[in-house]
Structure 1
C-alpha cells in the first residue's frame, strides 16, 4: 500500500532506537524504518533520545521482553533430562556388622519425548517473540498517533491565532471609531468573535496538554521543552486512490496472528506429547554395596558388590491416558478457534482502517482542491466589498469563519489520514514465511 512520507515524530526514530538495543533477529525492523528518518538532524536527535527512553522505560515493552526471556529460558529446560538421583544408605553397626550402599539413578523418558517438549517450548518462545514485536509496534503506533494529534492541534492553534490577530486589529480600529460615537455595534460583534476564538484557542491548548501528557507516559519521561515546537503538520502529497489491499499479507506479517500460529504449533506438539505419555519411562541405575559381617571365631568378613538397576513405569490406566489425549486435542481446537477469531478481527480492523484512510484522502482532496480555493476567493471578495462599503461586518465574519472551518477541515483530514496509516502499519511486522494453521 502506498504511504505518505512520515511526519517528524513517527515510527522511524523509535524503532531505529528500539531495535538497535534488541537482538540481531530484530534487524528487519531497523531496516524497515531506515529510509523514513526525519531530515531535520536536531529533531531526529531529540526524537531518538526520547525513544531510547521508551525502549528502556515503557512498562509494556519491558513486560513483553521479560516474558520473551522467560519463554526462551524454558527451551533448554524442556530439552534436558530429569535430574539424576544419588542415594547413600548405611545399615547396622559400622564397627562390627552392617551394609553401606551408594546408588546413582537416571530417569529416561520414552524416545522422542524430550524432542517434542523442546519443540513445544520453542514454539512458545517464538510466539512470545512475535508478541514482543507486536507490543513494540503497538507502542510505536500510539506514540505516532499521539504525536500526530498534537501536531494537528498545533496547526489548528496557528490557524485560530491568525484569525484572532485579524479580529484584534479590527477591534483596535473599531475602538478608535467608537470613541467618536460610531461603530459601537460592530465593535461588540468583533469582541464577541474574539472571545469565541480565544475560548477555542484555550480548549486547543488544553487538548495539546493532554496529548503531551499521554506522550510522556508512553516514552516514560518528561518531554524536552524544545520538542513540542517542532510538532506541526506540514502539507504533503496524498497517496493514490488505487492503493493495493494488503489484507492477504496479514497471516505472514501480523505479529498477533504469527504468535497465535506458533501457539497452535505448540498445541500440536502437546498432542504428540500426550500420545507419548502412554508409553513407559525407564530408570537406569548403577551402584556399589559393601557388606561387613562377623564370621565364626570373631573374624570380620567383607563383601563388595556392584549394582545395576532398571525400572519401568507401567502406564496401564486407560482413562488417564485418554484424558491426557482428549485434553491436548481440546487445547489444540481452542488454539485453532482463537487463531481464526483473531484473523477475522484483524481483517475487519484492517478493512475498517483502509476505509477510513480512503475517506480521509477523499476529504483532504476535497478541502485542498475545491473548498479552500473557493473559501479564499469568497473571503477576498467579501473583504474587498467590505472595504468598499458594499458588504457588512457580519458578511466578513462569516467569510472568515468559513475559511477557517475549511482550512481546519483539511488539516483534520490530513491528520486522520496519517493516524489511520500509523494504525495500519502497526498491524504489519516483518515478512515472515509462515502458513496458516
Structure 2
C-alpha cells in the first residue's frame, strides 16, 4: 500500500537521522515488533525500559510510513467527544477512555523530556471552535461534561476568542495539557534510545509470513528469521492487508506546511486549533514559523488522482488558514495526501486477536494516533510482562456490540 502521495515536510527537519541494517541472519528474542512507525517506536522504548529483549523489523526505512504524514498535534480530546463516548459506551467506559488519553499525554511528555534526540515536543493549549451556530449547544454540553469529570477546560465566548485571535467564532473550548511534536524526530529518537538499550532494529526487512506454535512464532523475512515469544503487529493502516477489521475503514486525508512566516504574533500561545465541522480543519505552528494544517478527509481517490488531489486540497487548506489568519505571506511549501484509518465506534483497536497466537496489534486509528499508540504500547507491555490491565478490554479487536447508553451528566 502506498501510504503517502506528495511532498512531506518532516524528513527535511532531520536529514542526519540514524539508519538501520537489513536483517540477514536468524535471530531469537522475547518480542518481535513488526513496524517502524510511532506504535512500534513507543513499544520498543517501553519494552527495552523493562529489559525485554526486542527486535524490530520494517519493510521501509524506519519512520518512512505514515509517521511522515503525521502532523504532530497531540491532544487528550478526540474526534469523538466525551459526551458521545458516554452515550455510546456508558459513563464508566466513556470517561475512562478520556482519562487514558490524558494519562497518555502526560506519559508522552515524560518520555520526550528524557530522549537524547530532541523530538520538538512543546506543551500547547488547544482551541476547539464551533464552526456553526448550531454547534454551540454541543460545545456547551461537552464543556459541562469535561468539567464534571475533572478535565482542564474553559468555555470561551465570541468576545474572549476575538480578544486574543484575529478571527471570531461563536464559541470554543479552550483546553490545557496538549502538545505539538515532530513525529518523524520522535520516532527516530525513540528507536535511538531503544537501540542503545539493546533493541535490534532492521529496515528494508519485510515480514513474509509467521508460523505459530505454543512457544511463540517464527517470523520470516526475505533474508532472515526471528524466533519470538511475543509478536507486536504495529503495521498501521497496512494492518488491513494482513487482517480485515470490520470495525475499521480507510480514507484519505490532506495536509500542508506553509513557507516560514515573518510574524505569527497574532496566534495566541501558538495554540492547536481545530473545529466542529466534519470533515474538519486543524492547524498548528512549527518551531521555524510555518503553519501546518490538515483535514478535509474523504473517500480514497483512484491512484492516478492522488497527486492532483494533494495539490488541490492543499490550495483549499491554504484558503482556510487565511480565513483564520489573513497573513500577507501565506504560501504552500509542502502538500501531501495520505491514507488515514478510523473506526466506526471511535476507539482504536489494541490487543490480541484469536487468529494470531502470542501476538498483539497496535491500530491507533483516529485523529489521535500518537496518543492511541502510547496507550497501546503501555497496555501491551503490561500484558507481556504479566500485569493484568482491564483497560485492554475497552479496545478489543473482536468487540461487536455496544453497552446500553448512559445519559451524560449535565
TM-score range, shorter chain: under 0.3
Structure showing greater radius of gyration is 1
More relative contact order, 1 or 2 (CA 8 Å, 6+ apart): 2
Q: TM-score, normalised by structure 2?
A: 0.23
Give the structure-1-normalised TM-score. 0.22
